[in-house]
Amino acid sequence: MNSKKMLIVSHAPFWHDGSGIPERSYHTIIAALPAAFVGIAYYGAPALGVISLAVASAILWELLLNYAGKRPITVGNGNAALIGLLTAMVLPASAPWWLVLIGTFLAIIIGIQIFGGIGANPFNPVALAIAILMVSYKSHLDFDTALVNFTLDFPSTTDPLAALKAFGPAAVEDLNPVDLFMGRQVGGLGSSCGLALALGGIYLMLRGIIRWEISIAFIAGVFISAMLFNMADPVRYAPPMFHLLTGYTLIGAFFLATESSSSPVNFIPMLVYGALGGVMAVLIRNIGVYVDGVIFAILLINLINPLVDKIRPKAIGKVA
Amino acid sequence: MRKRSFFGLSGPRFNYELATAAVGDPVAIPIPETVTLYIKQELKRTSSILKVGTPVKTGQRLVLDEGSEICTISSVTGTICAIAPFLADYGRAWTAVSIKTEGKDTADTEFAGASEPPSLDTLNRYLAACPGEPNIGPLMDERNPVHTIVITGGNSDLLIDTSLYVLKNNADAVNSGIEILRKTTGIEEIVIVVPEESVQNYSGHLDARIQAVSSRYPYAQPLMVLHHLTGRLPDERGMAPMGVCLIRAEAVAAIGQAFSTGRLPVEKTITVIDKNGVKHLARARVGTPVGNLLKTFGVEINDRDKIIFGGPMTGSAIFSEDLPIGPDTDAILVQDKSVIPLYSDYPCINCGDCVRICPANVPVNMLVRFLEAGQYADGADLYDLYACIECGLCSYVCSSRIPIYQYIKLAKYELDRIISAEEMNEQ
C-alpha cells in the first residue's frame, strides 16, 4: 500500500488565517514609527542616534542570549526590534550611549529572555527597563536636566509634568492642549506627540493587534480619576486633558499597557486592568513622589494581570 | 483558505454549506480493481474464515472469527487478495481486507433472510459498517439507556455537501430508517438537526422532531449539537451516561434503504474538493482507493501535497492516495503544497485571539500552557478541557501557530487511556 508520492500529514485544522508573530511585531513598529519621526523632527540627529542604537542593541542582546542559551535564533520575529524602538521612544533625546545600552539590556535580558523569551514575560519589558533606569539614573531621565542643552521652539521649555509637580496647575495653565497634542512639549523623544501615538494606536486597534478594551479603559481611567481630583481641588490638581496629553500617558495606553503577554485577554479583566492602570498613573502623579506615574502604574497592573484574568465567562456545558 | 481580514476587530465567520440547487447530482465512480475494507479489530492470528482466495459477494458480512461482532460489509463481488494489519489514527489496530473485484455484482442474500422482522441485533450485526457508520453500540448498552436519538442532518464540516444532499434526496429512506429505529429500540424521542435556513424543507416531511441550529460554524459540530439539545457536554466518562445517541442522516438513510430493499447499501456519497476549491459530488463503493476518485475529477497529486478525509477544520490527513474511502468519509479535500500552513514551536504570546473566537468559552490561552507541559489532568480540572467542542477555530487563528486542537485531542486521548486503565484495575 505504499505510494510513491510523499504526502504531508498533520493534524486538523488545515486552514490558518495567516496571522503570525512577525506580522504583529512589524505592524506595531509601523504604528510606532510616526511618533518616532516626530521626535526626530523636533530633536534632530541625537534622537535618530538614540533610536538606531536602541533598536540595534536590542536585536544584538537577543541574538547574544540566543547563542548563549543555545536556543533557536528568534531575532527575525521583530519583537526585539520593537522593544528597542519603544525603549528609545520613552528616553530623552539626550540619552548617552551607555544609558541606551543598559536600557535595552534590561528590557531584553532582564525583561524577557531570563523568563524564557517571547510570551513568558510577566512585566512589560520596556516599562521594567525604564522603571529601573528612572530610579537608578534620576538626572538622565529628568527631562529638564537632560534636555537643557537643546534649543526647543516649544511654548514651555520645561517638562510640563515636572512643572506641575513643583509649582501646581497655575504653572501649566497657559499650555494649549493643541500644542501638547501636536507634541510641542518637553518629554520622551517619541512619547510626546499625542496625535502620532493616537494614529498608531487606532491603526493597531483596527487591525486587532492590540486589544482596544485595554487602551480605552486606560485612557478612561486617567481621564475620570484626573477629573475627580480636579473637581475636588482645582488649585492643587491639573485638569484631565492635561494629564491625558502629557508624559507617557498615550504611549502607555497604546503601546505599553497593551503588550500581549503581560496583559489579560478576557473582556472584563481587560477593562479592570486598563482602568486600574489609568487610575494608578494619576494617583502617582497627583499624590506620589514621582513626576510621571505611568511606568510604575503599568508595572503594577502587570502584577495583577494573572489574578484579574481569572474573571472569565463560564465554559459551556459545565454543570457546576 | 480564508485569510485574516485587514480589519482584525471582528473574528472570522464561517458558514456551513446549505443544500442548494447548485449541488449537482453525484458522479458515479466505476468499481475499482481492488477495494480495501477495514474490520475494526486487531488481526491477532490468521483468521479461520477470511483467507486469501476466499470469494465474497456484494453485501456479504465479513468477520475475522466466528461469532465476532465487529464486521465489515463487502462492497463488491470478488476474491480476497490480501489481509493485513492496519494502524489507524490514535493507535487503533484494525485489519485491512483487500478484495480483487470481478466484473459483475452478485448480491449476497444473508441479510434479506435476516432482515424480517427488524431488530436491534440485526442492526448491530449488519448495519454498523454501512455508509454513515451508525453507532449502534450505545443503543444496546443496558447500563446506560438511551432516551433520545439525535440525527445530525447538517454537514459535518465546512465546504462539505454530503450530508444535506443525502437528507434532501433520500427523504423516503430517512423516514423508513427513522421508523426502523423507533420500532427496534422503542425510543420515541427522535430529533433531527438541520440548519435553520432549511427547516421548512424538512418539517412535515420527516417523521421526527425537527431541531434547527445555526448554519454558522461550529454550531453543527456533534458536541455543539449535544450542548444545544441537553445543555451539557460529555465529561471524561464519555457520552454514554448522557442518554443521547448521535447518528448521521446518511446512516439513517442507509438503514431505511437496507430494510426496504433487503440489500445492504454499499455506496458512499462523497464531496471531493480539488486544489482550486472546486467541489464535485461522487458516489463510490466503500473501499474505493482515494486515487481513483481524484483521477476521475482530474486532480493531480504531487509530492508534499496534502489529502484530507473530511473538511478543512476537523478532517484528518492521510498518507497515501491508495488508502480507501471508509463508510464515514464525507469528503476528500486536496491541498496544494503551496497553501499548506505549517505549525510552529513558538510559545503562546497570550494575544487572546483564541479566547475571543472560542464558541465554548474555554480559556485556551491557559489550557494550552498546561497541555504543552503534558499536565492533562490539571488542564481538565482547572481550565475546562472537556468544554472544548473540537471545532479547531483556536488553531485557525493562533498567531504563534501552535497546534492547539492537536494538543486538546491528545489530552483527551491520554486522559481516556488513564481512565480506562484505572477501570481495568478496579475490575
- Local confidence pLDDT in tens for the 320 residues of chain A: 455 789 999 999 999 998 999 999 999 999 999 999 999 999 999 999 999 999 999 999 999 999 999 999 999 999 999 999 999 999 999 999 999 999 999 999 999 999 999 999 999 999 999 999 999 999 999 999 998 888 888 888 889 999 999 999 999 988 999 999 999 999 999 999 999 999 999 999 999 999 999 999 999 999 999 999 999 999 999 999 999 999 999 999 999 999 999 999 999 999 999 999 999 999 999 999 999 999 999 999 999 999 999 999 999 877 65
Contact criterion met (CB < 8 Å) for A317 and B227? yes
Q: Give the best residue of B6, B342, B349 to mutate against chain A (max A CB count within 10 A).
A: B349
Say what the ipTM of the complex is.
Answer: 0.92
What is the per-residue pLDDT across A156-176, written as a single tens digit (0 to 9) for each?
888 999 999 999 999 998 899
Judging contacts by C-beta atoms under 8 Å, the chain A residues touching residue B229 are none
Give the total residue count for chain A.
Answer: 320
Contact criterion met (CB < 8 Å) for B399 and A20? yes
Judging contacts by C-beta atoms under 8 Å, the chain B residues touching residue A13 are 312-314, 392-393, 395-396, 405
Rg (CA), chain B: 22
Closest-CA residue of A relative to B307 is A7
Say how far apart CA B1 and CA B340 lie, in whole Å. Answer: 9
- Residue type present at position A214: I
Say how far apart CA B351 and CA B84 lie, in whole Å. Answer: 47
Which distant-in-sequence residues (6+ apart) come within 8 Å of B54 by Cβ? B79, B80
Contact criterion met (CB < 8 Å) for B355 and A266? yes
For residue B284, list its beta bridge partners. Answer: B268
Tell me the pairing of strands B316-318 and B55-56: unpaired
Judging contacts by C-beta atoms under 8 Å, the chain A residues touching residue B403 are 10-11
Q: How far is B164 from chain A (nearest CA, A)?
A: 22
Tell me the pairing of strands B148-152 and B93-101: unpaired
Q: Mind spelling out the 3-state secondary structure of chain B?
A: CCCCCCCCCCCCCCECCCCCCCCCCCEECCCCCEEEEEECCCCCCCCCCCCCCCEECECCEEECCCCCCCEEECCCCEEEEEEEEEECHHHCEEEEEEEEECCCCCECCHHHHHCCCCCHHHHHHHCCCCCCCCCCHHHHCCCCCCCEEEEECCCCCCCCCHHHHHHHHCHHHHHHHHHHHHHHHCCCCEEEEEEHHHHHHHCCCCCCEEEEECCECCCCCHHHHHHHHHCCCCECCECHHHCEEEEEHHHHHHHHHHHHHCCCCCEEEEEEECCCCCEEEEEEECCCEHHHHHHHCCCCCCCCCEEEECCCCCCEEECCCCCECCCCCCEEEEECHHHCCCCCCCCCCCCCHHHHHCCCCCCHHHHHHHHHCCCHHHHHHHCCHHHCCCCCHHHHHCCCCCCHHHHHHHHHHHHHHHHHHHHHHHC
Q: Measure CA B13 to chain center.
A: 23
Q: Give the best residue of A4, A5, A14, A28 to mutate against chain B (max B CB count within 10 A).
A: A14
C-alpha cell at B354: 483564541
Residues A182, A184, A189, A195, Cα dihedral to 10°: -10
Contact criterion met (CB < 8 Å) for A2 and B395? no
Which of B84, B365, B399 lies nearest to residue A19, judging by beta carbons? Answer: B399
Tell me the pairing of strands B244-248 and B148-152: parallel
Which of B317, B343, B360 lies nearest to residue A9, judging by beta carbons? Answer: B317
Contact criterion met (CB < 8 Å) for A261 and B349? yes
Which of B312, B323, B363 lies nearest to residue A14, judging by beta carbons? Answer: B312
Reduced to 3 states, what is the DSSP secondary structure of residue A280?
helix
Q: How far is B36 from chain A (nearest CA, A)?
A: 10
CB–CB of A33/A51 below 8 Å?
A: no
CB–CB of B370/B382 below 8 Å?
A: yes
Contact criterion met (CB < 8 Å) for B392 and A13? yes
Which distant-in-sequence residues (6+ apart) come within 8 Å of A41 by Cβ? none
pLDDT digit of tens for each residue in chain B (427 aa)? 677 777 777 778 899 988 877 778 899 999 999 999 999 999 988 888 889 999 999 999 999 988 888 999 999 999 999 999 999 988 899 999 999 999 888 998 889 888 888 889 889 899 999 999 998 888 888 888 999 999 999 898 999 999 999 998 899 999 999 999 999 999 989 999 999 888 887 877 788 899 999 999 999 999 999 999 988 898 888 888 889 999 999 999 999 999 999 899 999 999 999 999 899 999 999 999 999 999 999 999 999 999 999 999 999 999 999 999 999 999 999 999 999 998 998 999 999 999 999 999 999 999 999 999 999 999 999 999 999 999 999 999 999 999 999 999 999 999 999 988 888 888 7
CA distances from A49 to A39, A45, A55, B399 (A): 11, 6, 10, 33
For residue B211, list its beta bridge partners. Answer: B193
Which of B7, B301, B348 lies nearest to residue A5, judging by beta carbons? Answer: B301
Judging contacts by C-beta atoms under 8 Å, the chain A residues touching residue B355 are 265-266
Contact criterion met (CB < 8 Å) for A8 and B305? yes
Closest-CA residue of A relative to B359 is A316
Q: How far is B122 from chain A (nearest CA, A)?
A: 33
Peptide bond into B218 cis (omega under 30): yes
Stated pTM of the model? 0.93
Contact criterion met (CB < 8 Å) for A14 and B333? yes
Contact criterion met (CB < 8 Å) for B387 and A316? yes
Judging contacts by C-beta atoms under 8 Å, the chain A residues touching residue B36 are 1
Count chain A–chain B contacts defined by CB atoms under 8 A. Answer: 193
- Residue type present at position B47: S
Q: How far is B232 from chain A (nearest CA, A)?
A: 4
Q: How far is B265 from chain A (nearest CA, A)?
A: 26
Q: How far is A204 from chain B (nearest CA, A)?
A: 9
DSSP secondary structure, A46-111, as one string: HHHHHHHHHHHHHHHHHHHHHHHTT----GGGSHHHHHHHHHHHHS-TT--HHHHHHHHHIIIIIT
DSSP secondary structure, A233-278, as one string: -TTTS--HHHHHHSTTHHHIIIIITT-GGGS--SHHHHHHHHHHHH
